[in-house]
């Protein structure tokens, strides 16, 4: 028997899932279905040098490993519905695919706010795909007026990049400091100062009511104010939404991504399915280190999850031994961001510890290590600079988190 596996999602998660399925011994067919017209490519450069130079998808593509040369890629097609009882997937061109195993790897799309006329989307740009980056790049002439709605990592990276291009940049956010919702106000205030030093202007503690077209560009109207900011380009960087519409009607847990068990089996009616797993940004699963379900949108996350999901699916299809039940799945969330003043590296889940933030080393305005605690226990760590100390701090965090599992196991 050579089970047929469909991987729905043509980004990094889909690529890593296909690679890992081959690595664990799956010899049956694999088809990867991707909504974009490109093979998987690296997204982080889209807010940085690729935005300046103009994104070239060929240089951003991940290398193809020999192990997946016989994987079929169906690109520019999106899944629109799933029939788990019939093991059938329907695509946006009306075609269908039958499967024995399914990998959900559709990731996320950019969130859009109802800022346009009539409460619809506004005439703004987002930054998720290479086409998004190209559209933004075309307008980045020196002196262009750019408004960025949202002061998270994407918003701050875009702001720093376009300011370096000689554009006038305003960043708007309802929180009191950039990145306050993920790193806390202390570190957020430091990031603000670094971005202001390169020419970025912030309007914080304010919301946006509406964005409208004008004869000379756009007007960004602030909430509870008569003020409007004139712009040539408006970028929305207000987070993301899991791509799960195609999974509706199947009694799946779709409250925040797709709910899975600790082996990444998708739950249907609360029962894990042996032949359906999820990988990447869309997957939500219980993490023993944090004592709750988590869903993470970090660059390295698809690789971590693909290893476990591929082994789980191969075992469910009879292509590999069952996983050891005494080996809990405990990947460490991590990401980095290159902003003016030094690289920011995050490990664990700092947002869980925003009520107890401690400066562990250095100072807020320079290189530093910051710990995030919940109930007195370290749950997240952020380094600004301090590259030589990264391994020590990362190891200490893993030891602290692992101790919780040992004490309750």
Residue 352 backbone zone (phi > 0: left; psi -120 to 50: alpha; other: beta): alpha
Give the single-character DSSP code of 322: P
Give me the pLDDT at residue 344, please.
96
Residue 184, pLDDT > 80, answer yes
Give me the pLDDT at residue 328, please.
87
**Beta carbons of 112 and 126 less than 8 angstroms apart:** yes
Give me the pLDDT at residue 406, please.
57
Read off the pLDDT of residues 296-308 as tens digits, 9 standing for 90 and up.
Answer: 999 899 999 999 9
User: Is 376 exposed, middle or buried (CB count within 10 Å of its CB: 0-12, 13-18, 19+)?
Assistant: exposed
Give the whole-angstrom CA distance, residue 147 versus residue 27.
Answer: 50
Q: Could you tell me the pLDDT band of residue 342, with boundaries at 50, 70 and 90?
A: confident
User: Is 232 exposed, middle or buried (CB count within 10 Å of its CB: 0-12, 13-18, 19+)?
Assistant: middle
- Number of C-alpha atoms within 13 angstroms, CB side, residue 53? 10
Average pLDDT over residues 6-11: 97
Domains by residue range for the chain, with CATH:
5-108+241-316 (3.50.50.60), 117-238 (3.50.50.60), 341-408 (3.30.390)
Give me the pLDDT at residue 27, please.
93
Which strands make up the sheet holding 88-91, listed edge to edge? Answer: 79-83, 88-91, 96-98
Residue 146 backbone zone (phi > 0: left; psi -120 to 50: alpha; other: beta): beta
User: Is 141 exposed, middle or buried (CB count within 10 Å of its CB: 0-12, 13-18, 19+)?
Assistant: exposed
**3-class secondary structure, 108:** strand
Residue 253, pLDDT > 60, answer yes
Read off the pLDDT of residues 256-288 as tens digits, 9 standing for 90 and up.
Answer: 999 999 999 999 999 999 999 999 999 999 999
**3-class secondary structure, 386:** coil
| Model-wide pTM > 0.85 | yes
What is the full DSSP assignment across 262-302? TT-EEEETTEEEEEEEE-GGGEEEEETTTTEEE----TTHH
Residue 325, pLDDT > 80, answer no
């Amino acid at each position: 028997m050579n089970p047929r596996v469909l991987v729905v999602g043509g980004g990094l998660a889909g690529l890593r899932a296909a690679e890992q399925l081959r690595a664990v011994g799956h010899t049956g067919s694999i088809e990867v279905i991707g909504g974009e017209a490109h093979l998987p490519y690296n997204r982080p450069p889209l807010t940085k040098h690729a935005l300046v130079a103009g994104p070239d998808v060929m240089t951003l593509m991940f290398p193809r490993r020999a192990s997946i040369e016989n994987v079929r890629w169906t690109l520019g097609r999106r899944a629109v519905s799933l029939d788990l009882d019939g093991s059938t997937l329907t695509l946006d061109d009306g075609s269908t695919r039958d499967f024995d195993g399914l990998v959900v790897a559709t990731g996320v799309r950019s969130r859009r706010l109802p800022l346009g006329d009539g409460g619809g989307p506004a005439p703004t740009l987002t930054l998720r795909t290479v086409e998004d980056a190209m559209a933004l790049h075309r307008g980045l002439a020196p002196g262009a007026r750019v408004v960025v709605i949202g002061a998270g990592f994407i918003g701050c990276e875009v702001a720093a990049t376009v300011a370096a291009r000689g554009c006038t940049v305003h960043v708007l956010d309802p929180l009191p400091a950039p990145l306050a919702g993920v790193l806390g106000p202390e570190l957020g205030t430091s990031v603000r100062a670094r971005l202001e030093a390169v020419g970025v202007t912030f309007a914080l503690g304010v919301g946006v009511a509406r964005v409208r077209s004008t004869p000379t560009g756009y007007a960004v109207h602030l909430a509870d104010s008569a003020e409007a900011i004139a712009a040539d380009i408006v970028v929305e960087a207000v987070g993301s939404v899991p791509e799960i519409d195609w999974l509706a009607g199947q009694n799946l847990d779709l409250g925040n991504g797709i709910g899975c068990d600790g082996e990444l089996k998708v739950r249907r009616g609360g029962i894990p399915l042996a032949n359906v797993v999820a990988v990447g940004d869309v997957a939500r699963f219980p993490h023993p280190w944090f004592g709750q379900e988590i869903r993470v949108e970090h660059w390295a996350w698809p690789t971590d999850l693909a290893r476990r999901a591929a082994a789980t699916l191969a075992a469910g299809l009879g292509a590999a031994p069952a996983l050891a039940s005494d080996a809990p799945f405990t990947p460490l969330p991590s990401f980095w961001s290159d902003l003016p003043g030094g690289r920011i590296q995050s490990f664990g889940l700092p947002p869980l510890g925003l009520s107890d933030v401690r400066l562990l080393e250095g100072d807020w305005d320079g290189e530093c290590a910051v710990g995030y605690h919940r109930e007195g226990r370290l749950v997240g760590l952020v380094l600004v600079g301090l590259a030589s100390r990264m391994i020590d701090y990362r190891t200490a965090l893993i030891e602290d988190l692992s101790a919780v599992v040992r004490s309750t196991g």
